[in-house]
Structure 1
């Protein structure tokens, strides 16, 4: 039986850790596995609870960051330190149902797939506006990007060692794991499940946090916004030139004085807004380039019980 590593990013999950571990023990009884908790700079008792479990169970490992580096960095750290033949990424709040694991492991063990991933087919319990924007995001992303994201795709997946090694070769600072998992390719089996609400605590993802995260994903995997800015600039330049010819011709032929202060102001504000938007899009890509050239570490470990960190 293949050795399984379970990577669990944690940020302020003190209420969920114990419940999560009990569920994993129950579901994976008889399996050979390790659990790697990554404490992403939690401000509550998450690390203490992880240590308590690790002291009683040799299969539990942990990595604690010096501060909050984000879930993407936590996933990368876990994958980098996982020693299993199969590696699973899942959340500690049980929104990624542990009872799917046996089916996922059985499917990948058959050898027909390199990745077995879970996707939500419903968003029961979420605000409707959040579900609407999520649906629209996938549509927009897949339309402007050369790579397609499966709607409802989650980070919850079991991967072979070959797949994980391929993901680790992508050591970019600005990470969007859903896109990276998709970008490396490999044969993937999708398992559908109904949305599950958190077992305890409150989500740390706000609407604006998710919006920012979605923008990061678009910038990381497509330059379409830059092309759109160029297209808009070209269109309005042509329109402005045609309108200029119209005004000059009208004045020469009919001696009609140019009027319309309100129209001019609207045009100035519209074009000014488009220019600022285009500069903002360009600035976003320059920001990513700037951060990459700094070559800073993706995470910094404060303490861990994993040897040779």
Structure 2
């Protein structure tokens, strides 16, 4: 009998954990035919929660020791570390990644499993039909992010795609072969390839609690994604530097010729200072881009673990 491992990263999700477990269990109970030859297990990942999330895991494990498992980090390492830990500890023939807030509808699991077992696909992902209920400014920047990254990266990322997906063991093993410290899972899922199809669903509110992602955190996450999957910003910095170097040479010849022909140089210290400040700003901008890539290299060369486990069941 095959097994489905459900990876569920959590950070301060005390009220949503029991709701999630109850809802998913009901889905399995309501579809006995689809899951007749498949058993399931939960792998919760506690990403250094400061509330009672870990105690909720302990309760579920005590009541369902063969079905519910968890790993708990020594501190908060971030969403990507939680996903990596889940994939590394999952043992199922099929592996699903889900959010605990029930914005990823568990009702899609039977259809996802049926699609995989047909043999036509190695992964069934999900995507939202719209971003209803989301602040307009966040929706705008989300669309802008997908537009930019798909234009400058060879790895195409489906707009509105979720991490929620069901994968075969072969695809999970391929993902685990990527040891990088800096991770952007949506990009990695597409980078490894494999036959993937997507199911659409309507956006739904959280079952309980509040989102832990601020606008600034999402912005930084998008910058990391671009740096991880594209070197175009470096090419932009190179082009910009070359352009201004060329313009500065032209300007130098103009000043020399004007001095020789008319006997005076270009007047106006204010304009000169303005130009110098502008070029200096461009140089700092380009150095910032380069520094971002160097920082990523620095973190990779340290070979630090992506996370540290304090408790595991």
TM over 0.5: yes
What is the rounded CA distance, in whole Å, between the counterparts of 1:251 and 1:196 in structure 2? 70
How far apart are residue 2 of structure 1 and its match?
3.0
What is the rounded CA distance, in whole Å, between the counterparts of 2:150 and 2:270 in structure 1? 40
Residue in 1 that maps onto 2:232: 224
SS, match of residue 142 in structure 2: helix
Residue in 2 that maps onto 1:204: 212
Question: Residues 1-309 of structure 1 correspond to what in structure 2 (within 5 A)?
Answer: 2-29=2-29, 30=32, 31=35, 32-57=39-64, 58-305=66-313
How far apart are residue 154 of structure 1 and its match?
1.1
SS, match of residue 199 in structure 1: coil
Moved more, 126-135 or 265-274: 265-274
| Residues 204-252 of structure 1 deviation map (CA, whole Å, 9 limit, x = unaligned) | 1001100111111111111111111000001111111112212222222
Q: For structure 1, which runs of at least 5 residues remain unmatched after alignment?
A: none
Moved more, 188-197 or 82-91: 188-197
What is the rounded CA distance, in whole Å, between the counterparts of 1:42 and 1:84 in structure 2? 26
| Residues 39-62 of structure 1 deviation map (CA, whole Å, 9 limit, x = unaligned) | 000000101111111111130111
What is the rounded CA distance, in whole Å, between the counterparts of 1:268 and 1:95 in structure 2? 51
Q: For structure 2, which runs of at least 5 residues remain unmatched after alignment?
A: none
What is the rounded CA distance, in whole Å, between the counterparts of 2:129 and 2:262 in structure 1? 65
| Residues 107-135 of structure 1 deviation map (CA, whole Å, 9 limit, x = unaligned) | 11111000000011211111101000000
| Residues 6-48 of structure 1 deviation map (CA, whole Å, 9 limit, x = unaligned) | 0000000001001100110011124310010000000001011
What is the rounded CA distance, in whole Å, between the counterparts of 2:105 and 2:2 in structure 1? 21
- Deviation >2 Å, runs of 4+: 254-257
SS, match of residue 8 in structure 2: strand
How far apart are residue 172 of structure 1 and its match?
0.9
What is the rounded CA distance, in whole Å, between the counterparts of 1:263 and 1:126 in structure 2? 46
What is the rounded CA distance, in whole Å, between the counterparts of 2:161 and 2:257 in structure 1? 57
What is the rounded CA distance, in whole Å, between the counterparts of 2:288 and 2:209 in structure 1? 36
| Residues 134-181 of structure 1 deviation map (CA, whole Å, 9 limit, x = unaligned) | 001111101111111111111100000000000001011111111111
How far apart are residue 100 of structure 1 and its match?
1.2
How many residues are paired up?
305
What is the rounded CA distance, in whole Å, between the counterparts of 1:101 and 1:260 in structure 2? 70
What is the rounded CA distance, in whole Å, between the counterparts of 1:155 and 1:203 in structure 2? 16
Q: Does structure 1 retain, via aligned residues, the 8 Å contact 2:255–2:265?
A: no
What is the rounded CA distance, in whole Å, between the counterparts of 1:195 and 1:274 in structure 2? 41
How high is the TM-score relative to the length of structure 1? Answer: 0.96
How high is the TM-score relative to the length of structure 2? Answer: 0.95
What is the rounded CA distance, in whole Å, between the counterparts of 1:208 and 1:115 in structure 2? 31
